[in-house]
Amino acid sequence: MADRYELLEPLNHGGMGDVWRGYDVVLDRPVAVKRIRPQAVTSPHLAEEFEKRFRREARITARIQHPGVPQVYDAVLDESYEQLFLVMELVDGLPLTAYVRPERPLPVSWAVAVAAQVATVLSYAHEVPVVHRDLKPSNILVARDGTVKVLDFGIAAILRTDVTKLTSTGSPIGTHRYMAPEQVRGAGVTPRTDLYALGCVVHELLCGEPLFSGKSEWQLMTQHVTVAPTPLRELRPDVPEALEELVLHLLLKAPEARPVDVQEVYERLRPFLPSPGEEPSAAERAAVEAGPEGVPDPTGIFRRPYAPRARGGTGRARPAVPGDDAGPGVPPGVPPVVLPEAEREAWRQRIREVQAHYAALMDEERYAQAAEVMAELIEPAARALGAENRPVLRLRMWRAVSLQLAGDHRAALPEFEALADAYARSGGRGGTEVRDCLAQAARCRGQLGQVTQALSGLSRVLEMVRAADGDVSEEAVELRRDIGMLLFTQGRTAEAYDVLEPLHADLCVVLGAHHELTEEVAETLAVIRLDLDGEAPGSPS
């Protein structure tokens, strides 16, 4: 475990274990690590049985191939049998609990969109077959693109047999607010058990309040078994009658009386889903504004199915302000401050420690994690020292470089551009750091397919370098090579030849004909000559 997965910070605590934000050091990506506590393991024999059950459940969970189920990457059982780890996809989004507001129930379309996506996920799970057993708002997450993710499939099942058991306290395992009557009674769990929980969730989304609100666990369980649910339209008159009927059908006490399967539930939800191309209503737009900043709209995948990612800068980011170029995660306009020498030394020590960690990660090519490590320090350092303090700018540069090496050019680009402006204010427009930032920003644009802007940016920097250091400095040579290669990859072979042929001549003089860079340019020129079919300048006619 420790050799591959690092635990960075706890995300959630539960009766069955803890969820951590972790890192896969081999693949350089964030992960969710679920540490499951096997309370039942009290002997080597039980440990062996527990291991078999754990691996079986992990494999079954991994078989649910649907984008609404976070992927299972790995299942680890340590040699002592004391801890189990499930390593899974880390989802960036909001739990459904963030959407439940008693004072402002969700638009009907939003609640239906969530329910329809959950139903789709359950249809794949029930086919395996896997019953979730613990469906509830905190186990349902809406990702940033509006995709609903259902968490913790099979996790509850790892700690129980196929028949729900009572714990030593006499309480059934599960979440009492969403527990089907058959779970309360300790009877068999079936796919229709998940349908009851889905009915509880939809009722809560539409009303802003749980289905039942008993003051004790025992009272809640009794209500699920004996009390009829309040029809939705008595609590919220604008709910369509057919939707109210569906929710009441899901909440019937006898499992066999509920809808036959989740496919039926989805078909009955379809009339209330937005159609492709349909624009949000005023009430739906208001729901976005009233929710948490950046609240994902779960209807988006129905309005624009299979739509491409939003362009950079088109989300709900704060508007730009003149002079606001402190960079991502940096408080804008933070002025330099004068700290006592003891505090300044403490910050210098902290930066040295983080720099050492960053350098170790970069040596291991864990670029994405290195960027995260640096990002955690930048904002507090900017608040303490000033956003344009030289050590803070250096931290930001390191983060931008690691983002670029990790392939996240979209995130690195605005940081390089902001850093260029910040360095220009302190050292002038022609400084080495300004040129470096502008060149890296241009390279990011090239990777993002913005070729015209990339070539313009590289050419601009090359002019600055030529004016300062000449045409064959290390920086100039690198820029000339990048410009030529970018032209070549775009099929502009004649223009690429015009850039690379004189560069090759210079390299032969400065570095020698057998230098690695000289040979790289020579090979590209050879390909260009073939591509031009003998018509390149200087080729035989």
Domain extents in the chain = 5-88, 93-277, 472-541
Digit-coded pLDDT (tens) for 281-309: 887 777 666 555 557 889 988 998 887 76
CATH of domain 5-88: 3.30.200.20
Catalytic residue among 28, 134, 194, 482: 134
Say whether 14 sits in a helix, a strand or coil: coil
Is 3 among the residues known to form the active site? no
Asked if residue 115 lies in contact with residue 202, where contact means CB atoms within 8 angstroms, the answer is: yes
Q: Which of 166, 145, 170, 240 is nearest to 202 (CA)?
A: 240
Helix segments in 364-450, DSSP class H: 367-385, 390-405, 409-427, 432-447
**CA angle centred on 168, ends 165 and 174, rounded to 5°:** 45
17 token code pair: 């274990």
Q: Could you report the average pLDDT of every consecutive run of 10 residues in the chain (541 residues)?
A: 80 73 89 73 64 70 86 75 77 88 87 96 88 90 91 58 36 73 85 95 94 89 94 95 97 95 96 92 71 74 82 40 42 56 82 90 88 88 82 92 89 93 85 93 89 92 91 92 90 91 93 92 90 52 39
**Percentage of the chain surpassing pLDDT 90?**
41
Say whether 461 sits in a helix, a strand or coil: helix
Q: Does domain 93-277 have CATH number 3.30.360.10?
A: no
| Pairwise CA distance, residues 221 & 207, whole Å | 20
**Percentage of the chain surpassing pLDDT 70?**
81
- pTM exceeds 0.85, yes or no: no
CB atoms within 10 A of CB 338: 8
| Pairwise CA distance, residues 370 & 365, whole Å | 9
Say whether 93 sits in a helix, a strand or coil: strand
